[in-house]
Amino acid sequence: MRYRAQSSQLNIVRYNVQAFFIKRFTLENLATKIASVLKAYRKEKGWSLDITSQKTGVSKAMLGQIERGESSPTIATLWKIASGFGVSFSSFVEDTTSRESHVHRSAFRQVHPADDKIRVLPLFPYDEELRFEVFIIELLPGCEHLSPPHQKGVAEHVIVSQGEIEVLVNGSWVHLQENEGLHFDASLPHGYRNISATKAVFHDIIHYGI
Ligand code: MN
């Protein structure tokens, strides 16, 4: 829903927009959100910490820490967890999107102190029917981010909106400049790096197959 509303609808629209922003921006703590989602997925599957560790490749100790909200996982670790459960990345950081049409606005987030040169903005959280999610990702100069393989059938579309990046696909780095895009099979190891002296920004559309 947009702000430009007819005056007769203004109260309703304002209420909706405010509710939307409150929901998005008062998550005081990303670790708490991730902890509760992880717990819920584990309960749903009936997986012990041992089994979860086997399925995700993340140690039991680390899973325990994450589940107690003691630490946020890195982006790479969170991807391992999402892939192990066969669920979307954004389901850990955002609520599933509603099909209602409204302006999506989120904030860039640093997921973990170790991920100090990469910021993630979940623009369209995972859509269960269309099976995709859209992130805007910001790479600071010198950032090289390697991603573990996602589950089978996952494809990424990367579109650069600012600066220059290289994307690691099939073992080689592919150069992309502003307004260029690349799609690739994200069930293989891949990565992104900023090769310029300024910030680089790209959109990442992640499709979870059929
Ligand atoms: Mn990826």
CA of 9 from ligand 1 middle (Å) equals: 41
| pLDDT of 196 above 60 | yes
Q: Ligand 1: distance of its center to the CA of 109 in Å?
A: 16
Model confidence at 119: pLDDT above 60: yes
pTM of the model: 0.79
What's the 156 CA to ligand 1 centre distance in angstroms?
A: 7
Query: Domains in the chain, please, with CATH?
Result: 2-6+14-24+103-207 (2.60.120.10), 27-91 (1.10.260.40)
Q: How confident is the model at residue 44 (pLDDT cuts 50, 70, 90)?
A: very high
* pLDDT cut 70: percent of the chain above it: 85
- CA 175 to centroid of ligand 1, rounded, Å: 17
Query: Would you list the DSSP string of the chain?
Result: --S---GGGHHHHHHHHHHHHHHHH----HHHHHHHHHHHHHHHHT--HHHHHHHH---HHHHHHHHTTS-PPPHHHHHHHHHHHT--SGGGTSPPPPSS--------B--STT-TTEEEEEEEEEETTTTEEEEEEEE-TT-EEEE----TT-EEEEEEEES-EEEEETTEEEEE-TT-EEEEETTS-EEEEE-SSS-EEEEEEEE---
Q: How far is it, in rounded angstroms, from Cα 147 to Cα 188?
A: 9
Which position has the higher pLDDT, 201 or 7?
A: 201
Residue pair 81/92 in contact (Cβ under 8 Å)? The answer is yes
Residue 5 Cα to ligand 1 middle (Å): 38
The pLDDT tens digits for 63-91 are: 999 999 888 899 999 999 999 999 999 99
Q: Which pLDDT value is given to residue 30?
A: 82
